[in-house]
Structure 1
């Protein structure tokens, strides 16, 4: 299950683990204009843990989920979707 909320400066997605035990803590993703922040509660430390990805890192991650094993270089794209020099 997941939820999406649109706040003033970010879109917030919450992913809830509904699978078989052992279940993981909820994952909260905050999408800002310049970066993505992924948060999850760490029960061992009793605190939230954050990972911040640039928009380029997020694009590379999305591409990597659909590619076979290997090393790749992404091609920067302009606003209209064409490759930048």
Structure 2
């Protein structure tokens, strides 16, 4: 399950792990104009852990999900 909310400066997607146990904490993805932030509560510390990716890194991740194992570099005209 997931939710989508449009805020003033970001689109926020929350991914809810509603599958079989063991369940993970929700992942909140905030998409801003120049970056994307993923946040999840660390159950060991009860503190949020965040990762911020540039739009270029997000594009590379999107491409990587559809490629076989290896090392790649996108050309400027591929972006």
* Relative contact order, higher structure (CA 8 A, sep 6+): 2
1:46 is displaced (CA, Å) by 1.2
Q: Is 1:43 the equivalent of 2:43?
A: yes
| C-alpha RMSD of the superposition | 1.1
1:74 is displaced (CA, Å) by 1.6
Distance 1:3 1:62 in 2: 20
Count the aligned residue pairs.
78
**In the alignment, which residue of structure 1 is the partner of 2:10?**
10
Distance 1:23 1:33 in 2: 31
1:9 is displaced (CA, Å) by 0.2
1:75 is displaced (CA, Å) by 2.3
Greater helix share, structure number: 2
**In the alignment, which residue of structure 1 is the partner of 2:58?**
58
* Structure 2 residues without counterparts, runs of 5 or longer: none
**In the alignment, which residue of structure 2 is the partner of 1:79?**
none
1:19 is displaced (CA, Å) by 1.2
Looking at CA atoms only, which structure, 1 or 2, has the larger radius of gyration? 1
Using structure 1 for the length normalisation, give the TM-score. Answer: 0.88
Using structure 2 for the length normalisation, give the TM-score. Answer: 0.94
Structure 1 consecutive aligned stretches of length 4 or more whose deviation exceeds 3 Å: none
* Structure 1 residues without counterparts, runs of 5 or longer: 77-82
